[in-house]
Amino acid sequence: MRLEDVADELNVNLPQVRSLVRSGDLPAIKIGGRGVWRVERSELEAYIQRQYTAARESIDAGAAEKDEA
């Protein structure tokens, strides 16, 4: 997928997707001499699943903190 397509899929702007790629959070490959970036759909799906997992863990940690109070 083009980075623009990834941005559309995630409903974020292109610079945010570029930042995810630069940080390594979203694996991508550079193709050709012009350096066109592409993300495999499977990598995007894996990224989304990691974000769901992190969100669940954050929610669970917050609930545990409330239970302790």
Model confidence, pTM: 0.82
In the chain, the number of structural domains is: 1
**Quick one: pLDDT at residue 54?**
95
31-35, 37-41, 55-59, 63-67: which has the minimum mean pLDDT? 63-67
| Phi, psi (rounded to 5 degrees) for 31 | -120, 135
Tokens of 29: 């490959």
CA 12 to chain centre: 10
Contact 26, 39 (CB under 8 A): yes
Tokens of 1: 């997928």
How many other CB atoms are found less than 10 A from the CB of residue 33?
6
Residue 57 structural domain? 3-68
